[in-house]
Amino acid sequence: MQLNEEKNEEKTGKAKKERTPMPEQPADERRKNFNEVTLGYTKEDALAEASRCLACKDPKCVEGCPVNVDIPGFIELICEEDFEGAIEKIKDTNTLPAICGRVCPQETQCEALCVLGKKAQPVAIGRLERFCADYDSQKGAKVPEVTKSTGKRVAVVGSGPAGLTAAADLAKLGHKVTIFESLHKSGGVLSYGIPEFRLPKKIVQQEIEYIKQLGVEFKPNYIIGRIKTLDELCDEFDAVFLGTGAGLPNFMGIPGENFSGVYSANEFLTRVNLMKAYDPAYNTRVRLGKHVVVVGGGNVAMDAARSALRLGADEVSIVYRRGEDEMPARREEIEHAKEEGIIFRFLTNPVLILGDEKFNVKAVECIKMELGEPDKSGRRSPVPVEGSEFTIPADVVVIAIGTSPNPIIFKGSEGLEQNKKGTVVADEETGATSKCGVFAGGDVVTGAATVISAMGAGKKAAKAIDEYLTGK
């Protein structure tokens, strides 16, 4: 088993400065399967890593966590080998620890603020959280106690990270929660977007089962905006939380984008993850490319590229219009993709997709870019280099340049303020919208962001909804 090599500037220093590596599948093996890449800490690993925590009196790491998990608290319990106590402590504030421990960008959150990080490596908080959650599910998670009912009913629209978190928190406070989900499986992006090799679907379903045990009712195959309008939900429930995400794929608008073999990342990943097109026992298919080109530089682009590789592609390249430093994807995912042999073409932008006589994609014409002056957001905007066009052969192209909120939810409903990009206008602290009794959080408010920020928004909104319902 190959161990994850960690950088350590002070290799000569105390052993304690190095974080405990996490075992993972070797790259040449894992690029052929959809099994989880990272394998998780053993008990010994967890104890070694937990002992590095300085148990700060004024812990900065907690501030870096969007849902403010009591990090030193649960790590101390790990040190005492009270793993059940540790998971309970985490679950006080975080309902989806097995997921967060795997997909949170800890390097920009909790771990970014760990004081150990100033001189050496920060405590591997995410890995420890994951260890506790996995220990818990292996043992059979404790059935939570259902709180006495307040008699209030809340509708949650969408079962992604924002909706699941809001639902769980509201149920713990004694409100009767019903989740409406348009797809046949719950989880949102956790089920259709993030691949099995990063987040096993068994884990997502386990977390959802836990939320069901809190008394939350799930209604799959139920589309608000088609079966019922948002206005009708408002009449039937005491409050509504909108966690419908940003599921509408953006296309580039270049010629040839509708050739067969050109996918949105949403379609490609839905076929692979939700419908399990990689498994011949399932009936959904996805085109298997020999030469795959993925456009974009976020986590979704990494997921699509690494999935295409695992489906058997000979060559997968990521085409990104900015440079490596500007890539919004998690560092770990970029490293994993590189180890697996994904080719990165930076400062490159597609201008045209070429097809054959049967409308099948055969190549992508790209242009080289250079970084110009910083734009309003402070990022240097890429500018095309004239005359630098070149073509890359491709039989599958995946467009992963971002998503917007799906407008179906707003059909037939009135009074919900949206901004130009189609996102819902909501108060940052409470999630309250312009429509009375309707709260919103996650990607539907922010546009495509992270799992944990959606959970944070779900958590804040649940608190605000509780105050709204109980008149606090």
Partner 1 sequence: MAYKILEKEEIAQSVHKMVVDAPDVAKAAKAGQFIILRIDELGERIPLTIADFEIEKGTVTVIFQEMGKTTKQLAKLSAGESLEDFVGPLGTPADVRKLGTVILVGGGVGVAPIYPQAKAYTKAGNRVLSIIGARNKDLLILEDEMRKASSELYIATDDGSKGHHGFVTDIMKKILDSGEKVARVVIIGPPIMMKVGAGVASPYDVEILVSLNSIMVDGTGMCGGCRVTIGGKTKFTCVDGPEFDARKVDFVELMNRLAMYRGEETKAVEKYEEECRCGLH
Binding site for partner 1 (CB under 8 A): 182-184, 220-223, 226-228, 247-249, 251, 253, 257-258, 260-261, 263-264, 266-267, 270-271, 275, 281-285, 287, 358-359, 406-408
Contacts within 8 Å (CB) and 24+ apart, 37-40: 37/197, 37/198, 37/336, 38/4, 38/102, 39/1, 40/127, 40/130, 40/131, 40/134
Contact yes or no for 302/333 (Cβ under 8 A): yes
Tokens of 274: 């939700």
For partner 1, the closer of residues 41 and 180 by Cβ is 180
- Determine the Cα–Cα distance for residues 285 and 463; give it in Å rounded to an integer: 43
For partner 1, the closer of residues 213 and 260 by Cβ is 260
- Determine the Cα–Cα distance for residues 341 and 338; give it in Å rounded to an integer: 5
Overall residue count recorded for the chain in this entry? 472
| In the complex, minimum distance from the CB of residue 48 to partner 1, in angstroms, rounded to a whole number | 41
For partner 1, the closer of residues 40 and 247 by Cβ is 247
Contact yes or no for 462/173 (Cβ under 8 A): yes
For partner 1, the closer of residues 327 and 448 by Cβ is 448
Tokens of 366: 């790209």
- Determine the Cα–Cα distance for residues 102 and 22; give it in Å rounded to an integer: 12
For partner 1, the closer of residues 264 and 348 by Cβ is 264
- Determine the Cα–Cα distance for residues 355 and 348; give it in Å rounded to an integer: 20
For partner 1, the closer of residues 261 and 297 by Cβ is 261
For partner 1, the closer of residues 123 and 275 by Cβ is 275
| In the complex, minimum distance from the CB of residue 206 to partner 1, in angstroms, rounded to a whole number | 17
| In the complex, minimum distance from the CB of residue 30 to partner 1, in angstroms, rounded to a whole number | 25
Looking at residue 433, what DSSP letter applies?
A: B
- Determine the Cα–Cα distance for residues 375 and 261; give it in Å rounded to an integer: 34
Rg (CA), the chain: 23
| In the complex, minimum distance from the CB of residue 439 to partner 1, in angstroms, rounded to a whole number | 22
| In the complex, minimum distance from the CB of residue 157 to partner 1, in angstroms, rounded to a whole number | 13
For partner 1, the closer of residues 279 and 335 by Cβ is 279
End-to-end CA distance of the chain: 55
For partner 1, the closer of residues 265 and 342 by Cβ is 265
For partner 1, the closer of residues 285 and 338 by Cβ is 285
Contact yes or no for 396/271 (Cβ under 8 A): no
| In the complex, minimum distance from the CB of residue 52 to partner 1, in angstroms, rounded to a whole number | 42
| In the complex, minimum distance from the CB of residue 270 to partner 1, in angstroms, rounded to a whole number | 6
- Determine the Cα–Cα distance for residues 395 and 284; give it in Å rounded to an integer: 19
The residue among 65, 69, 68, 71 whose CA lies nearest residue 50 is 71
Residues 6+ apart with CB under 8 A from 33: 25, 197, 310
| In the complex, minimum distance from the CB of residue 183 to partner 1, in angstroms, rounded to a whole number | 7
| In the complex, minimum distance from the CB of residue 271 to partner 1, in angstroms, rounded to a whole number | 6
| In the complex, minimum distance from the CB of residue 300 to partner 1, in angstroms, rounded to a whole number | 13
